Amino acid sequence: MGRALNAHAAADVPLPSRAERANRTERPQSVSLVVEDMHCGACMTTIERALRRTPGVREGRVNLSTRRVSIAFDAAVTDSQALVDVIGAAGFKAAEAIEGSSEQENRRADDLLRRLGVAGFAAANVMLLSVSVWAGAASDMDAAAASLFHWLSALIAMPAIAYSAQPFFRSAKAAIGARRLNMDVPISLGIVLATGMSLFQTFRGSHQVYFDAAIMLTFFLLIGRYLDEHVRLKARGAAENLIGLKSLTATVIGSDGTARRMAARALTPGMRVQVAAGERIPVDGRIVEGESEIDESLITGETLPRWAKPGADVHAGTVNMTRAVTVQATATDDSTLLAEIARLMQAAEQGRGQYVRLADRASRLYAPAVHVLGALTFAGWMLAGAGWELSLTYAVAVLIITCPCALALAVPAVQVAATSRLFAKGVIVKAADGLERLAEVDTVVFDKTGTLTRGEPVLRNGSELSDAVLAKAASLAVASRHPYSRAVVRAARERGLTIAAASGVVEIPGSGLAAASPAGEIRLGSAEWIKSGDPSGGRTGSLRFADANGEIANFEFEDAVRPGARDVVSALKLAGYRVALLSGDRETTVNAVAQAVGIADAWAGIKPNGKICFIEDLKARGRKVLMVGDGLNDAPALAAAHASLSPSTAADISQTAADAVFQGQPLAPILETMTVARAAQRMSFENFAIAIGYNVVFVPLAMAGYVTPLIAALAMSLSSIAVTANALRLRGRNLPLESLRRTA
């Protein structure tokens, strides 16, 4: 059932050697730019086209979800500032991505929320005045009073529009300056014309005033823009979090034996670095002095630490657990394996960024069509002899009626309803289009350690141990942070035992714990150490406890399978999904877990880029893969997959890379997430049908002159309410597991 890495094509693609990574400086330089005011597929195409025409640019890829552009360029021909200017000339403001850029994104979302509040407050007050005018018209309201109400509406609406609609005005101005169209151009034109016409009619004392339509239009469009920004805010690039896994400083041993602290970025190959117990290793290198246990779970996914002796290779980002060691650096800073994983992460993210949603594709034709319809309406009524005022009024109504509010809310409204439901079930959806991609998957690939299993050792033979023995062992174990010691303490607490910490506990790194008791010495440690008393005794996959009388008890550990894992796998297979297991762990361990959960396709010993190769191979065959993983070694695969999930116990980088994160030990939230995603996809198409149907009905009426700008704004608002109400049904809707079944 299980197959080792060399049985799969992914094995033929090894990780780059240290020499290859060290020579990366000879390759084209790269830069990541943050781009503002990029909202649709047309914006993405404009930027990529501008970059392709730029001398020295080897490659430019846009990630629409995170509003980032990744550019590879020849430093001898151009530089990052020149690339910023190129994007600026295309009508977009860009800046080099730096740490803390998420704060800028938060400020943008907060700014939209403030503008939304102002527009909502103004719309409510202007509507009250409009209702008064309508009611007064039926009872022959005094013309002076009606004019006063119109001027009050102007005083409220015009400053509010000038402030609240600035995001649309700025975007439209940049687009026109770059000689292109986007969806904000007709939006801005409709708002400006409705406001200008209303002011003109107010001066004339006419009743054809539509300040309420202009401010309501602004309010509802800001709702859609804020929802979109709020969802995008959760989709920041995952590779940024890798900085938290780096050691920022290092202790360097000079040729004269003196130690000095220096920045990890300043280290060079050949330097000797001392790493104390508990510190992260700052470089890729080889141990030259000392022995210790190295926690390599970030790289391999293996929960148990590896015993490393002189000559053993170690990697940046891993943790030295027990004894101080000296490491001779072979690769530093951007040439380390950790940096390589970051590059894999960025490449995978950009590949996923090419996914263009239905609304984005529609937007490429929407803006020109709106202008054409508005112009045809104005020209048609002018030819019919209606006069420029009436013709312009009907054209404004067409611009308002075709404003893409319902279309813009179609997907975000469903996302809000779906994410609220999943949040109540312990699932946090992070990616802007994550639900759409989750609904499309046909293959589910699981990581083993920390995903199908708990990711931490648990005491397997606890039922064979007496309360007295377990309590005594826990009294020693509570003094250590070793994974086995924590498992012993956890087992004692789960049994309800009182743990009295032993006094004078001595921890012998790599061997075990010892303490004096009234009856003699007690020990908890490796079998070799307990048996021989030799502190250099190597560790094994179990512990032994020896009391003062020489009685010995075995403590055996395992990485237990998560609750309900077999049921989840069975449900997925029954629903028609292909299920596979990828792991960097040993083949025997992978086989045992695969058999326990019922997965036939299991692959062992796969490195981070091997997982990407496996997923890319499936994608080349037309499969759409859901990756479920938790370790740093899974992060590039999570980003490369069509969709991804991660448990809340995962590394920060993996949680950031995943489209959704689920809480708790059971895997049942995976089924809930996929079921809700399928329902959300159906509901999104329903909302698109509502938005399209609204346009099919009201656009001809507006062009025929049966719709005033005010009625157009109300109709546009009702269409938005309709798609929102339809989306809210998802929150309380019963979704049976049968709805997960694939039809294809």
CATH number at residue 479: 3.40.1110.10
Which candidate in 212, 360, 447, 630 is catalytic?
A: 447
Q: What is the pLDDT of residue 158?
A: 92
Interhelix angle 166-177/184-204, rounded to 10 degrees, is 120
Is position 591 within any domain? yes
Q: What is the pLDDT of residue 605?
A: 80
Q: What is the pLDDT of residue 163?
A: 94
Instruction: Give the chain's residues under pLDDT 50.
Output: 1-26, 98-101, 138-139, 234-244, 344-357, 359-360, 533-540, 744
In this structure, the number of other CB atoms found within 10 A of the CB of residue 222 comes to 23
Query: What b/e sequence results for 499-515 when a residue is b if at least 16 CB atoms lie within 10 Å of its CB, and e otherwise?
Result: beebeebebbbbbbbbb
Closest CA to 335 of 440, 223, 246: 246
Is position 327 within any domain? yes
Is position 265 within any domain? yes
Are residues 163 and 37 part of one domain? no
Are residues 412 and 382 part of one domain? yes
Domain boundary among 74, 103, 132: 103
Closest CA to 44 of 26, 23, 60, 22: 60
Are residues 676 and 693 part of one domain? no
> What tokens were used for 403?
């404003």
- Number of separate domains in the chain: 6
SS3 track for 717-736: HHHHHHHHHHHHHHHHCCCC
**CATH for 95:** 3.30.70.100
Is position 18 within any domain? no
Longest dimension (CA), the chain: 112
Is position 344 within any domain? no
Give, in order, the Cα–Cα distances in Å from 483 to each of 190, 305, 490, 522, 738: 64, 9, 10, 20, 41
Interhelix angle 143-164/211-232, rounded to 10 degrees, is 20
Contact of 360 with 300, CB cutoff 8 Å:
no
Give the percent of the chain with pLDDT over 70. 75
Is position 654 within any domain? yes
Are residues 566 and 450 part of one domain? yes
Burial class (CB in 10 A: 0-12, 13-18, 19+), 137: exposed
Domain boundary among 331, 347, 371: 331
Is position 13 within any domain? no
Are residues 650 and 687 part of one domain? no
> What tokens were used for 500?
């009295």
Which range of residues forms the domain containing residue 269? 247-281+283-331
Domain boundary among 558, 573, 597: 558
Are residues 204 and 111 part of one domain? yes
Whose tokens are 């400086």? That residue is: 25
Are residues 228 and 115 part of one domain? yes
Are residues 178 and 144 part of one domain? yes
Sign of dihedral through CA atoms 38, 43, 44, 49? negative
**CATH for 595:** 3.40.50.1000
Q: What is the pLDDT of residue 247?
A: 62
pLDDT per residue over 106-142, tens digit each? Answer: 677 788 889 989 998 998 888 888 777 766 554 455 6
Residue 544, SS3 per DSSP:
strand
Report DSSP state, residue 442. Answer: -
Contact of 646 with 416, CB cutoff 8 Å:
no
Q: How far apart are CA 48 and CA 676, in angstroms?
A: 34
Are residues 484 and 597 part of one domain? no
Detail the DSSP E strand segments found in 116-208. Answer: none
Query: What b/e sequence results for 352-376 when a residue is b if at least 16 CB atoms lie within 10 Å of its CB, and e otherwise?
Result: bbeebbebbebbbebbeebbebbee
The yes-or-no answer on residue 447 being catalytic is yes
**CATH for 259:** 2.70.150.10
Are residues 225 and 109 part of one domain? yes
Report DSSP state, residue 280. Answer: B
Are residues 165 and 72 part of one domain? no
Helix, strand, coil fractions of the chain, as percent rounded to 5: 55, 15, 30
Give, in order, the Cα–Cα distances in Å from 337 to each of 17, 20, 98, 243, 341: 9, 11, 22, 13, 6
Interhelix angle 405-424/211-232, rounded to 10 degrees, is 40
pTM: 0.55
Is position 14 within any domain? no
- Ranges of H-type helices in 336-449: 337-352, 358-383, 388-401, 405-424, 434-438
Are residues 566 and 441 part of one domain? yes
